[in-house]
Amino acid sequence: MTAPGDFNACIARIAADRDREAFGALFDHYAPRVKALLVRSGTSAFAAEELAQETLLTVWRKAHLFDQGRASAAAWIFTIARNLRIDSLRRADRAVYAEDFAPEAEDPPQPDAILNGAQEAERVRAAMRTLNPDQAQAIEMAFFQEQTHTQISETLGVPLGTIKARIRFGMMKLRVFIERETGGAA
């Protein structure tokens, strides 16, 4: 049995040497706990099993990113599980939305609607130019490329909290810009 403090060391051995024995100890200890946490949060047993395995696979792949100065092994692993669960719920919501709200055949757009759309697109482009490059990139990836915050964090190699802050503050700047441009009718 591995002592709780030794799990930080297990992650370090995985990061340094791809130590399968350390991963086995980590997996044996945390997989059932992650699954139980997910089931208690309303995830089906099957989905919880899948997410628990995906969580531990993420630990294997990203062990080099673990910083025991910022969190314990347990906190890091349960945070990964929580984020994967959120991503899973988002994917499920998108699938339901796409299925239930598929657009019917529409009438062709009227010329004034095309003009309004072009004006609105230019307003958004102008607002995006007011952001700093990091905020603009995060917002573009989230809203135009439809990437999750976790995917953006991984792609850019930036902590998840930083990505969330960039998007939040960028959206606040966009709102202020658009409200100013439209006279508060945003």
CB atoms within 10 A of CB 2: 14
d(CA 55, CA 88): 12
Predicted confidence band at 144 (pLDDT cuts at 50, 70, 90)? confident
Using a cut of 0.85, tell me whether the model's pTM lies above it: no
Which two three-digit tokens encode residue 106? 């529409």
Residues in contact with 84: Cβ distance below 8 Å, sequence separation at least 6, in sequence order = 51, 54, 55, 58, 150
| Each residue's pLDDT tens digit, 146-173 | 889 999 999 899 899 999 999 899 888 8
CB atoms within 10 A of CB 23: 19
The domains found in the chain, sorted by start residue, are: 6-100 (1.10.1740.10), 111-180 (1.10.10.10)
d(CA 15, CA 59): 9
| Each residue's pLDDT tens digit, 57-78 | 999 999 999 988 888 889 999 9
Tell me the pLDDT of the chain averaged across its residues. 82
Predicted confidence band at 140 (pLDDT cuts at 50, 70, 90)? confident
